Amino acid sequence: MERFKRILKDRRGDAFVFILILVFFILTLSAILIEYFRMESLYQQVEYVLQRGVNTSVEYAMLDEYRRDGYVRIDSELAKEKLYKYLHESMKLDSGLNKYADKEWVYELEIKSIDATDNPPRLTLNGALKTRSIFSFLTGEVRLPFSISSVNNRIEEGGP
């Protein structure tokens, strides 16, 4: 006990301890910033790719016979099917919608709902991006929600 008190009172080497604390703070702050920008970049990348998938699914499912008469309608079931095909074939997600890069897990897509309406031809994808950060031991897995929608409202000549 006495020895412990003596160590606490001893002022020798306090500059070294101060530098250690300062370095720890700087490293932690840098790690937080780098991790934030990494996750932000991942989120934007996934959002961009998903938006493209939703757009192409709507484009695939447009019913041309209606378009000829000036109406815009989609086959909602076909749109959903094409979206799932895109997720697996183009985004290379597995059956559980997990993304791997060099056999290493990167993220998982958690799809809450896919809402498709025939008229107006709209496809909306709601869900969340589940990923891990270096602070997972504190926060657990990170969930970043998204809502992506695409509408085809191009009207050619004709119609009522």
Task: Confirm if 130 and 107 have CB atoms less than 8 A apart.
Answer: yes
CA–CA distance, 109 with 131 (Å, rounded to integer): 9
Least separation, in Å, of the C-beta of 62 and another protein? Answer: 8
**Contact between 84 and another protein per CB under 8 A:** no
Among 30, 90, 98, 136, binds another protein (CB under 8 A): 90
Among 43, 47, 56, 114, binds another protein (CB under 8 A): 56
**Contact between 86 and another protein per CB under 8 A:** yes
CA–CA distance, 122 with 149 (Å, rounded to integer): 7
**Contact between 47 and another protein per CB under 8 A:** no
Among 55, 124, 133, 149, binds another protein (CB under 8 A): 55
Positions touching another protein (CB under 8 A) are: 52, 55-56, 59-60, 62, 64, 86, 90
